[in-house]
Amino acid sequence: GPLSERPLMEVRLGELHTWASTCSFSAQGLLGAVQRAWGSYCAKYIHVKQGGPAGISMLLAGYCLLSYGWNYQHFSKASYLRNS
């Protein structure tokens, strides 16, 4: 198809400047690009036909990392008090 309708991953390196000049950098154009990116993300990772334990595992791992980050000062103070 025409160069302006191709997704970024299908544009060759030599065509990148021409492709970027056809893009709309207005607020409406950027909003449309964000909506297309979110739609492709959802299609690839969220709306899958068969789910597995990977989604729940990523959710639990993210929660563990956030919880550790939130409580880091508490953990470091407790460790300091034990070692003195």
Instruction: Please provide the DSSP assignment of 32-80 as one string.
Output: HHHHHHHHHHIIIIIS-SS--HHHHHHHHHHHHHHHHHHTHHHHHHHHH
User: pLDDT by residue (tens digit) across 7-31?
Assistant: 888 888 898 888 888 887 889 888 9
How many residues would you count in the chain? 84
- From residue 64, alpha-carbon distances to 17, 61, 68 in Å are 43, 5, 6
User: pLDDT by residue (tens digit) across 57-66?
Assistant: 877 999 999 9
Q: What are phi and psi of 40, to 5 degrees?
A: -70, -35
> What's the predicted TM-score (pTM) here?
0.46
User: Regarding predicted confidence, which is higher, 59 or 32?
Assistant: 32
Q: What is the pLDDT of residue 55?
A: 67
